[in-house]
Structure 1
Amino acid sequence: MVEQGSALYQQKSVMKSEDWWAVWLGGFVFLLGLGPIVNLDILGWVVKTPVWIDFAKSAAPVSAGYKGMSGLTSSLLTFFFILAITTVGVIGMGGNVKKYIIGFTIIYWIVFFCMILGNNAYIAATPDKRAAFKIAWSLGLGEMGFILAMILGLVIGNFVLPLAKFLEEAAKPEWFIKTGIVILGAAIGIKTVEAAGLAGTVIVRGICAVVEAYLIYWPVVYFISRKWFKFTPEWAAPLASGISICGVSAAIATGGAIRARPVVPVILSAVIIVFVAVELLLLPPLATQLLYNEPMVAGAWMGLAVKSDGGAVASGQLVDSLILNKAAIELGIKWEKGWMLMAATTTKVFIDIFIGVWAFILAVIWTVCGLDTRRPAVDGEACAPVSAIEIWHRFPKFVIGFAATLLILLVIGLAYPGAVKAAKTGAGHANLLRTLFFALCFFSIGLITNVRKLWAEGMGRIVWVYAIALFAFILWVGLFISWLFYHGITPPLAQ
């Protein structure tokens, strides 16, 4: 065997590592997304799948510069692009290229149509968007496409075994999700730049929300998971991150950092998405009744309580609209629009940007303490000294990619404010590819998951942990923190 520290070993490990290929492929998409900064619409042809009521409008190129392109053409180009870059990675890792291409083609189109179906207005439209689609009701499940993809994967993996076996070569959940997280860094980086341009007092309070989320929520949820529901650290850490920090992205990043099995963060993500829909239904009306005279408290509360970016922003938008109307009627006050949405968005952004930092901290703790999450952990397991090179080998490299894309966009935005609009456009184009990588991961997880084993792992207990932590603790602590930092602050009066 080649000595671990030798150049040959390092070269081989890098070429065969899904982590490093995630960094390279995610970084490549990120670089293409920088095109608008230099007036190049490189990814404008990428397909977007907006909320739709007319199927003919369910897919289209993201950029107006490609408005003459059909949704079908955009869909095909996006497929061939993702197939091409991932096939390069499969070649580099020594996989079966022919089986991968055939399997990936089947998986991709199943996933793509799940995303389209999940964005039907009756399924995905938030309450504030129903009038635009001329519909009386909707479920408000904006990320249902992920769930549909996972359900189909579960059906195939548990009941259509010959097809599942054939598709295994192309089902690479960890690689897909890590590539997506690297791309995600750009979107969060540009959000951070935009937040930096907002009112200073709101930004300071948004930073305080980060302290609240990480230092209060996380330990409590982890304690509940471990002591009351007897979850191992492999389940408890991603669950604590998903509930207390930033939903799906935090659960996935934490799972990768502690080397949890891929099924762990994805199952947690499915539970999180359902609870986000419940929060979106209940919290804005509740905040309107309780806090119509404290509008900024209500906005910040949405950012702290709703555990997905889309859900938090949507709830902030709803609160902004509902409270403005109620304040005008009950108080005779007309405030400017958008300030409650700003509080929700800013709070959420400052929570989001620490995902990579938290993943790094947990990766070091789990490595130094010798917590092997691929086997049941033992309470009170003693920490064992680990060499620096071992920490490096076990450290999730995709976190480096995530941090790099975030910091590059942050530096560009702060150094060249005039480039922010173009950078936001490019990051948005790249983020559509990130969404597809996430969806591919969800399907792949379903494909390789044994449902009976999953239930034995404690699916029912996950729901109980989430419900208890959210409704008995997180919502009310979040409300208290929001009140503490935003009490007495109101938006400017409308002109």
Structure 2
Amino acid sequence: MGEPQKNIFTEDWVVVILGLGIVFLALLGVVIPKPSFSWQSASTLLDTTLATENLYRISQQFLLVFAVAIVGAFLLRKPIKPLLVVFPIVFIITVIALLFAGSEAIKTLNLEAVIFSLGIGLAISNLFSLPEWFKAALSTELYVKIGLVLLGTTVIFSDVLKAGSLGLIQALAVVLSVWYFSFWLCKKLKIDQEMAMMLSSAVSICGVSAAIATSGAIKGDPKKLSYVISLVLITAIPMMVCMPYLASWMGLSQEVTGAWLGGSIDTTGAVVASGSLVGEEALKISTIVKFSQNVLLGIAAFAISIYWTYTKSKSAEHAEKPTLKVIWERFPKFVIGFIFASILFSFFVPPAKIEAVKESLKSLQGLWFALAFTSIGLETNFKELFVHTNRKPMYAFLVAQFFNIIITLVIALILFR
């Protein structure tokens, strides 16, 4: 028998193809209306969320993401038969998580859908023994990177610049100072460089998205990435709830509070939720600052991939020399999809067309992220997240997050007072 055929495309290039494929389908008119998962009581759940029209929208989304997942498996030469069983199960679990998050009672707690996706997945994987073929069919990184490409459609440079250069200045100052401090702290605690990279990016840039982008840039260990993501989600909840009240107690203006929240809280959804608790101006400023940090995501991933290539070339005896070819080979190609989508929607797509497709693409972006977090939960042993060897990264993350809160407040007071 001959040797197995080599993949024509790497996973990152497949992500670019699939993510931009979804974008261009929407621009060409294949727009799936956003389904609603909001409900107040059992009656409204049946009458609205589980109504025929809404179920039809959910089924349309399912057919699209299912088809994309199958095409992805085909391009990567992965077995398709297990995917035909596993993906619908992952989708059903994800929809259940979205329904939980859509409850008005849950919304008052400002809990995001990805928390329920991760939680349900973890519960299943730790209460039941899932077969290896099931876990092998999960494509966590593929799903989350497609979501990152779609995230690029929401990063509109003109909106960020129009809203204020102060947000960009703060984002740059926070990212540089917090990243360097976090990386220095990890080095002092003798945490391995791979974990230090992902942890520092998660704390300083934009949480989960930055951790995943960094993992892609350095070809990181999925278990370490899962651990960092868990830390981000666990700390985001108390910060999201407590910081608005702390800002009120300190007598901070809405502008300063918004800048503080946007620069400190790691996930975009949590920033929006916490900003909403303060007021309209705080919500606006917090969103600007967070979007400004999102803009830096592609630049940061590129810089990290170059740094990682040079570092490895010096530390390893037989490592490849950091030529332009090696740097290009190691560069996370999905970042190209993110930047391309952002430039496309920032400068080339008419505002009317953006208005027509943004809700659909935003909903699909959230769905891909939720599918990824369900997959993370299903392939993660919860006990592994808190073993003795993982305590130092947890301590480093908490200290770095505290530093992030303090330095961001100082910068916000200087720029927005």
TM-score normalised per structure 2: 0.89
How high is the sequence identity, in percent, across the aligned residues?
27
Instruction: Flag the 1:412–1:340 CA change in 2: closer, same or farther, 3 A.
Output: same
Indicate if the aligned counterparts of 2:216 and 2:332 stay in contact, CA closer than 8 A. Answer: yes
- For the residue of structure 2 that corresponds to 1:94, the secondary structure is coil
Instruction: Flag the 1:184–1:205 CA change in 2: closer, same or farther, 3 A.
Output: same
Aligned to 2:46: 56
Distance 1:114 1:274 in 2: 17
Q: Say whether 1:474 aligns with 2:408.
A: no
Aligned to 1:486: 416
Aligned to 1:399: 335
Superposition deviation, residue 69 in structure 1:
5.8
Work out which of the two has the higher radius of gyration on C-alpha atoms and give 1 or 2: 1
Superposition deviation, residue 339 in structure 1:
3.1
Superposition deviation, residue 264 in structure 1:
2.7
Aligned to 2:265: 306
Aligned to 1:18: 11
Aligned to 1:287: 247
Instruction: Flag the 1:168–1:383 CA change in 2: closer, same or farther, 3 A.
Output: closer
Instruction: Flag the 1:295–1:57 CA change in 2: closer, same or farther, 3 A.
Output: same
Coordinate RMSD, CA, aligned? 2.8
Unaligned runs of 5+ in 1: 1-10, 61-67, 126-138, 321-337, 373-377, 414-418, 488-495
Distance 1:169 1:52 in 2: 38
Q: Which amino acid aligns with 2:269?
A: G
Aligned to 2:131: 164
Aligned to 2:221: 261
Distance 2:369 2:91 in 1: 12
Q: Say whether 1:353 aligns with 2:295.
A: yes
Distance 1:213 1:18 in 2: 31
State which of 32, 42, 56 in structure 2 corresponds to 1:44.
32
- For the residue of structure 2 that corresponds to 1:96, the secondary structure is coil
State which of 183, 194, 197 in structure 2 corresponds to 1:234.
194
Deviation beyond 6 Å, 4+ runs, structure 1: 380-384
Aligned to 1:492: none
Q: Say whether 1:151 aligns with 2:124.
A: no
Distance 1:80 1:466 in 2: 39
Superposition deviation, residue 97 in structure 1:
1.8
Indicate if the aligned counterparts of 2:94 and 2:374 stay in contact, CA closer than 8 A. Answer: yes
Q: Say whether 1:193 aligns with 2:161.
A: no
Q: Which amino acid aligns with 1:343?
A: I
Aligned to 1:327: none
Indicate if the aligned counterparts of 1:50 and 1:59 stay in contact, CA closer than 8 A. Answer: yes
Instruction: Flag the 1:363–1:48 CA change in 2: closer, same or farther, 3 A.
Output: farther
Aligned to 1:140: 110
Q: Say whether 1:411 aligns with 2:347.
A: yes
- For the residue of structure 1 that corresponds to 2:131, the secondary structure is helix
Instruction: Flag the 1:90–1:458 CA change in 2: closer, same or farther, 3 A.
Output: same
Distance 1:84 1:122 in 2: 34
Superposition deviation, residue 237 in structure 1:
1.2
Instruction: Flag the 1:158–1:286 CA change in 2: closer, same or farther, 3 A.
Output: closer
Superposition deviation, residue 158 in structure 1:
4.4
Aligned to 2:62: 79
Indicate if the aligned counterparts of 1:14 and 1:20 stay in contact, CA closer than 8 A. Answer: no
Superposition deviation, residue 185 in structure 1:
0.8
Q: Say whether 1:28 aligns with 2:16.
A: no
Unaligned runs of 5+ in 2: none
Indicate if the aligned counterparts of 1:184 and 1:402 stay in contact, CA closer than 8 A. Answer: yes
Instruction: Flag the 1:122–1:346 CA change in 2: closer, same or farther, 3 A.
Output: same
Instruction: Flag the 1:51–1:411 CA change in 2: closer, same or farther, 3 A.
Output: farther
Q: Which amino acid aligns with 1:194?
A: D
- For the residue of structure 2 that corresponds to 1:477, the secondary structure is helix
Indicate if the aligned counterparts of 2:167 and 2:285 stay in contact, CA closer than 8 A. Answer: yes
Distance 2:47 2:414 in 1: 45
Superposition deviation, residue 481 in structure 1:
0.6
Distance 2:208 2:339 in 1: 17
Distance 2:234 2:214 in 1: 20
Q: Say whether 1:455 aligns with 2:386.
A: yes
Aligned to 1:433: 364
Counting matched residue pairs gives 412
Distance 1:461 1:154 in 2: 23
Distance 2:134 2:170 in 1: 43
- For the residue of structure 2 that corresponds to 1:111, the secondary structure is helix
Q: Say whether 1:207 aligns with 2:198.
A: no
- For the residue of structure 2 that corresponds to 1:312, the secondary structure is helix
Q: Which amino acid aligns with 2:152?
A: G
Indicate if the aligned counterparts of 1:301 and 1:482 stay in contact, CA closer than 8 A. Answer: yes
Distance 2:356 2:58 in 1: 19
Instruction: Flag the 1:348–1:420 CA change in 2: closer, same or farther, 3 A.
Output: same
Aligned to 1:369: 311
Distance 2:20 2:71 in 1: 14
Superposition deviation, residue 450 in structure 1:
3.8
Aligned to 2:207: 247
Instruction: Flag the 1:461–1:152 CA change in 2: closer, same or farther, 3 A.
Output: farther
Identify, as 1 or 2, the structure richer in helix.
2
State which of 69, 75, 86 in structure 2 corresponds to 1:103.
86
